[in-house]
Amino acid sequence: MKNIYPIFKKEVSSYFGSPTAYIVTTIFLLISGYFFYSGFAFFSLISFRSMGNPAILQQLNINEGVVKPLYGNISIILLLIIPLLTMRLFAEEKKSGTIELLLTYPVKDSEAILGKFFACAFLLFFMLLLTGFYPLLLILFAKPEIEPILSIYLGLFLMGISFIALGTFASSLTENQIVAASITFGTLLFFFVIGWASSLVGSTFGKVLEHLSIMEHFSNFAKGIIDTKDIIYYVNFTIFFLFLTSSSLESKKWRG
Amino acid sequence: MIQVENLTKNYGPIPAIENISFTVEKGEVLGFLGPNAAGKTTTMRILTCFLPATSGSARVAGFDVFKNSIDVRRRIGYLPENVPLYTDMSVTKYLGFAAEIKGVPFRERKKSVEQVIDYCGIGQFSGRLIGKLSKGYRQRVGLAQAILNDPEVLILDEPTVGLDPKQIIDIRNLIKEMAGKRTVILSTHILPEVSMTCQRVIIINQGRVVTIDTPQNLNKKLQKSTEIKLTVEGPSDEIIKSLQAVNGVLSVTKKDTVNNQNSFLVESDKDIDIRKDISKAVVTNNWGLLEMRSVDMSLEDIFIKLVTEEKGSGQ
């Protein structure tokens, strides 16, 4: 397992040594910043208007009004952006042939996969860390509850790494980065909306669909509830797709 | 050092290599010779654990390439065809990464990277991005990463393809220097390269081993006919006619004529020495015999011969 680190290091420096990390982070921050601004401005407008009406004022809650929608939106931006980060992980190496050298070095497949996965997770962590600016601003002007924000961050990160695991797998399937990104995006979207069908099908099957939905599990974190059920879902999702990645690399060898 | 037994690899129904067996001794430089798509790269990929064989076994330094793949990979340095390197890394950074991943201890890493940079003569480009290097220098970086961590076995897939003549000589010299210290397998379809750098040659065609021998023996074994280079002063048409009349001559090819001096290539049966009869024929006609020497068959001729012969017998 000691070879995870050099691969991690190489991948991180490849993200940060090229414009990839900066452009993706900038776009991510611009869009999420816009959502934060519009949500916050709208909330202050409503607060201002309902000054004379204590009944409505009582209902207003900064966590419900600003924080929750903001991070709901951020989770959708991640859905759009993570496929762009993961698509190159294996597809690029396959296209350029460098995978032949990588896999003939004394490195286990699992080490290569985890090195790349952690590198992408690190970039995600970095991006989420920068969004920490928004709650800091909130604290300056209002009194949001801190704990739900922390649980949201935990949820976002867990959700992000499960996106990355799926993206890594998709990237190992093909040498075409666009194909990898499309597969990732499509599958993620599917997992995102699968819960919508739960009310249409029978109650047992509906429960299953609900449990499969990525969004459903995130909504608990957004409410400030940290449930082991949700943590286990994301961890399982991640491990499952990383395992599939390793099988995919293995099968490529057999097919030649 | 390397034992390969009955190695077969199929891509779908098509066999890339069939029943390949050979052994390589420690310190030997072995040349892998064959036309395109002969199965050279496939064999090397199996030896470097990149592809598993369909059947048969291969052992490197006593370790099975399939069962103890990591142990094998620790002992080999590999230069794949087309030298795939991370183009967005600088030379030193890439070699540092390769050293780390190949298990060079932290303290020695810097030193061993400097050593291979020095050895392969890429010092002046060590800070450059690999993507900005010329093909020749990229090849050297590829060689540098292969010899990092002093592997016992080096596997080089067409190490001189696409280089200019000086670079080719440089790389060949690097390989020659390694003989004795390391076991080297190199593949090529350039024939002089093999006779220059290798102690033994495997000729492989359409996935099968055609022959395994030293370059010298190959020369001997395959000279079914002898060629004689001849320069004679006199009228060329008449000379050809009388040469063809000599017993044992198979063919006469005219090379060129300078100042009434004609040079010919005369091919004859291997078992009959025609030189006496040729000189007699020239002298009786009163022409001037200026030069006569037998020509050794080059490996290139052997190669073409082998490959075409094999084809003939297979059909």
pLDDT at B123: 86
A220 in B contact zone (CB under 8 Å): no
Is A98 close to B86, i.e. CB distance below 8 A? Answer: yes
Of B200, B220, B240, which closes a domain?
A: B220
Count how many domains chain B has: 2
A52 in B contact zone (CB under 8 Å): no
With a cut of 50, say whether residue B201 has pLDDT above it: yes
Q: Based on the domain organization, do B260 and B206 belong to the same domain?
A: no
Is B143 inside a domain boundary?
yes
A251 in B contact zone (CB under 8 Å): no
Q: For residues A250 and A243, give the distance between their C-alpha atoms in angstroms, rounded to a whole number.
A: 11
Banded pLDDT at A63 (limits 50, 70, 90): confident
Residue reference for tokens 């890394």 = B89
Instruction: Identify the bridge partners of residue A250 per DSSP, sorted by sequence position.
Output: none
Q: Based on the domain organization, do B104 and B212 belong to the same domain?
A: yes
- Closest residue on chain A to B71 (Cα): A106
Q: Helices A109-131 and A19-49 meet at what angle, rounded to 10?
A: 40
With a cut of 70, say whether residue B237 has pLDDT above it: yes
- Mean per-residue pLDDT of chain A: 90
Decide which of B293 and B21 is more confident: B21
Is B310 inside a domain boundary?
no
Cα three-residue angle B268-B270-B274, rounded to 5 degrees = 50
Banded pLDDT at A117 (limits 50, 70, 90): very high
Q: Residue B77 phi/psi, 5° resolution?
A: -115, 135
With a cut of 90, say whether residue A209 has pLDDT above it: no
Banded pLDDT at B188 (limits 50, 70, 90): confident
Using CB atoms, pick whichever of B11, B70, B97 lies closest to residue A108. B70
Decide which of A48 and B37 is more confident: A48
B49 in A contact zone (CB under 8 Å): yes
CA distances from B79 to A97, B40, B48, B244 (A): 12, 13, 10, 51
Name the nearest CA neighbour of A127 among A2, A230, A242, A32: A32
Q: For residues A253 and B26, give the distance between their C-alpha atoms in angstroms, rounded to a whole number.
A: 29
With a cut of 90, say whether residue B158 has pLDDT above it: no
Q: Based on the domain organization, do B91 and B174 belong to the same domain?
A: yes
- Most confident region among A88-92, B259-263, B306-310 by mean pLDDT: A88-92
Banded pLDDT at B192 (limits 50, 70, 90): confident
Is B80 close to A97, i.e. CB distance below 8 A? Answer: yes
Give the residue numbers spanning the domain of B181.
Answer: 2-220
pLDDT tens readout for residues B48-99: 988 888 888 899 988 988 888 888 999 999 999 888 999 889 999 999 999 9
DSSP string, A179-217: HHHHHHHHHHHHHHHGGGGGGTS-HHHHHHHHHH-HHHH
Q: For residues B112 and B128, give the distance between their C-alpha atoms in angstroms, rounded to a whole number.
A: 19
- Closest residue on chain A to B145 (Cα): A101
Q: Residue B183 phi/psi, 5° resolution?
A: -90, 125
- Spell A29-66 as b/e; 16+ CB within 10 A means b: bebbeebbeebbeebeeeeeeeeeeeeeeeeeebbebb
Cα three-residue angle A69-A71-A75, rounded to 5 degrees = 115
**Residues from chain B contacting residue A101 (CB–CB below 8 Å):** 78, 80, 84-85, 145
Contact predicate B271/B223, CB 8 Å: no
Decide which of B301 and B127 is more confident: B127
CA distance, residue B48 to nearest chain A CA (Å): 6
B73 in A contact zone (CB under 8 Å): yes
Is B29 inside a domain boundary?
yes
Of B190, B220, B250, which closes a domain?
A: B220
Q: Based on the domain organization, do B138 and B211 belong to the same domain?
A: yes
Q: Based on the domain organization, do B73 and B204 belong to the same domain?
A: yes
pLDDT at B278: 84
Among A149-163, B231-245, B263-277, the least confident range: B263-277
Is B300 inside a domain boundary?
no
Q: For residues B220 and B213, give the distance between their C-alpha atoms in angstroms, rounded to a whole number.
A: 11
Using CB atoms, pick whichever of A3, A14, A96 lies closest to residue B84. A96
Residue reference for tokens 């002093």 = B150
Helix (H) or strand (E) holding A141: helix A133-141
- Closest residue on chain A to B129 (Cα): A17
**Residues from chain A contacting residue B150 (CB–CB below 8 Å):** none
A55 in B contact zone (CB under 8 Å): no
pLDDT tens readout for residues B109-153: 999 999 889 888 888 888 899 999 888 888 889 989 998 888 889
- Look at residue B15 and give its three-state secondary structure: strand
CATH, residue B134: 3.40.50.300
pLDDT at B40: 87
pLDDT at B302: 61
Using CB atoms, pick whichever of B80, B100, B101 lies closest to residue A100. B80
Strands B183-188 and B153-157: parallel
Is B133 inside a domain boundary?
yes
Banded pLDDT at B306 (limits 50, 70, 90): low
Decide which of A170 and A254 is more confident: A170
Of B198, B220, B242, which closes a domain?
A: B220
* Average pLDDT estimate for A108-136: 94
| ipTM of the complex as predicted | 0.85
- Closest residue on chain A to B81 (Cα): A97
